[in-house]
Amino acid sequence: MRKHVTLVHFQCILFCLGGFLLLREGVVGDPRAQTVNITCGRQLEHNSTIFVPNFVATMENISEQMRSSGFGVALTGSGPDQNYGLAQCYGDLSLLDCVLCYAEARTILPQCYPFNSGRIFLDGCFMRSENYSFFEQYKGPEDKAVCGNATQKTSTFQESARQAVSLAVASAPNNKGYARAQVPVSGTNESANVLAQCWRTLNASSCTACLENASSSILGCLPWSEGRALNTGCFMRYSDRDFLNKEQSSGSSRGTVIVIVVSVVSSLVVIAVGSAIGVYVWKHRYIQKKRKGSNDAEKLVKILYDSSLNFKYSTLEKATGSFDDANKLGQGGFGSVYKGVLPDGREIAVKRLFFNNRHRAADFYNEVNMISSVEHKNLVRLLGCSCSGPESLLVYEFLPNKSLDRYIFDQIKGKALTWDRRFEIIVGTAEGLAYLHENSKIRIIHRDIKASNILLDSRLRSKIADFGLARSFQEDKSHISTAIAGTLGYMAPEYLAHGQLTEKADVYSFGVLILEIVTGRQNNKSKSSDYTDSLVILTWKKFQARTIEELFDPNLMLHDHHNSNVKSDILRVLHVGLLCTQESPSLRPTMSKALQMLVTEELLPAPANPPFMDESTLELGDTCEDVSYPLNVGPPSSVATVSYSSFRPR
């Protein structure tokens, strides 16, 4: 057992997190990681099996350079799928802020795929990828200015802005392409602030030409209070707001920078940060949280390296036949999954996580941390991960029958799931969730319970998978306030409306899953020519009208000879599903109570109405913040408390 976490080990974890979690002592500024513009090329990649590894390798090569100098160039491969890359932070960013900004850029730029090129301007850094050498280009047809239009400024501000732009353009070429200027506005307490930055691949004359073009276009934004020039070889910005980070000391690893300050800075904001701070960049424009210690990251390091969870990338690549499409098991929002066979003959499932989306770093950490800390027969077992290659990989036990959705939503495959098997799947899922909520060392909420995340073993027994969105919290907390994430159709109304997460969100999702298993219909695709209500509402209405048998999946009766007993069982399970999907979370049972209702003959209360009874509330806007759902619980159902005496517990 290794007693100490080495720097190499920690860097490995940083890579697995996509470079988003950093450990550093010092002052945290603003990485300015908000996207200004992304432009994708028009030519498709030539061969994805060559282009993708080349692109990933280029990004990682640049990552290493960014961590030491704030600038990186790389070339990977040859021929039509060769990849040239460049990334650079603007001169006022510290190395810490620089890596955070680049981490954002490298997760957004892959959105250009399957086109083979793209460039992204953030307010703190730039990244570009092409299939040809562009390093000495300083102008092009894509050059443009982006103007702010919130406030029109006075003529005195405009004059100060012109002076500041002129000063920056004159100074940057002789200062490694970087300059900043601040010119006070006469008769006011504000100033015009300017940043000018050329890419380091340009010589002084090319930098001058680029900035002169940029200044000409950016001054066209006046009289507006803000303007940015997005040019092939440089970036320039002016603003009436002091957006620049404070000067770095001469002892900084970035070196001394020449700063043009015409006015005396009246105040400095110094943010004291404790040692060993782990910083996540995704939430807001400014880094707002202090974290005392890096316990989470160090725990992950120990998990990986002290318990033999780490796999060599080459081993997994060979096991999957270089991720051959013939071995592909499925594709999800967070990556592709491949079947593999290890040298010792063990079958495994490998989740491949390149082309990360914005939140993949935190999700990767969650998945490793959550699933490695729990063990239950109804949870998919994590065997390890790979942090040593060009991609992040998770390794799971192999489950030959894949996911539940492949059966219940397919009229042919659905015949393999008799009622007894479906009931066993429902109970197994309930047992796994009850363990996560109540019996593990930490309270864990899965957040994405749905049929595609329920995997089936060789005997068609259920195992809960995909812990990328899972969250844990302390016993003394009633709920977590968090960004909304999950799958529409399975998310509880209070979570959608307010972002308040409790175990009852999983209970709601489980209730939807029950209804899908019994009916063979998918809740979030329920608006079709056959029926207009969601599956939850439709089931509740049929239950109220005592015609719920009309919803039974016809496959349920094919292999059962005691149809009267089976019918009673199904009615009871649907009743439990409706109790789990009630609008008010306080009325929903806990998972342990739901499990008890499933396997005993106790009397069941009448379910109250489900959410979204007003169908207009199902029309979602562009952002979750715009979604609002009525949370008033309607009158109790008129259906009396029901008992199912013929129910046969398993």
Q: Which residues have a catalytic role annotated?
A: 448
Q: Which residues contact 616 (CB under 8 A, 6 or more apart)?
A: none
Place of tokens 């900004």: 101
The Cα–Cα gap between 272 and 42 comes to: 46
One-letter amino acid identity for 205? S
Place of tokens 């994805």: 48
3-state helix, strand, coil in the chain (%, to 5): 35, 20, 45
- Which residues are bridge partners to 341 per DSSP? 347
Structure tokens at 192: 């015009």
Q: Tell which phi-psi region holds residue 40, choosing left (phi > 0), alpha (psi between -120 and 50) or beta.
A: beta
Q: Is residue 287 within 8 Å of residue 279, measured between CB atoms?
A: yes
**H or E element that contains 179:** strand 178-184
Identify the CA nearest to 587 among candidates 595, 579, 577. 579
Q: Is residue 139 within 8 Å of residue 232, measured between CB atoms?
A: yes
The Cα–Cα gap between 65 and 11 comes to: 14
The Cα–Cα gap between 7 and 647 comes to: 59
**H or E element that contains 228:** strand 226-230
Q: Which residues contact 189 (CB under 8 A, 6 or more apart)?
A: none
481 φ/ψ angles, rounded to the nearest 5 degrees: -95, 115
Q: Which residues contact 459 (CB under 8 A, 6 or more apart)?
A: none
Q: Which residues contact 288 (CB under 8 A, 6 or more apart)?
A: none
Q: Is residue 28 within 8 Å of residue 271, measured between CB atoms?
A: yes
22 φ/ψ angles, rounded to the nearest 5 degrees: -125, 155
Establish whether 463 is an annotated binding residue: no
One-letter amino acid identity for 81? D
The Cα–Cα gap between 299 and 140 comes to: 48
CA dihedral 344, 347, 351, 354 (to 10 degrees): 50
Between CA 622 and CA 630, with CA 627 as vertex, the angle to 5 degrees is: 160
Structure tokens at 193: 């602030």
* 401 to 68, 463, 518: CA distances (angstroms): 47, 11, 19
The Cα–Cα gap between 237 and 125 comes to: 12
Binding region? 351
Binding region for ATP? 351
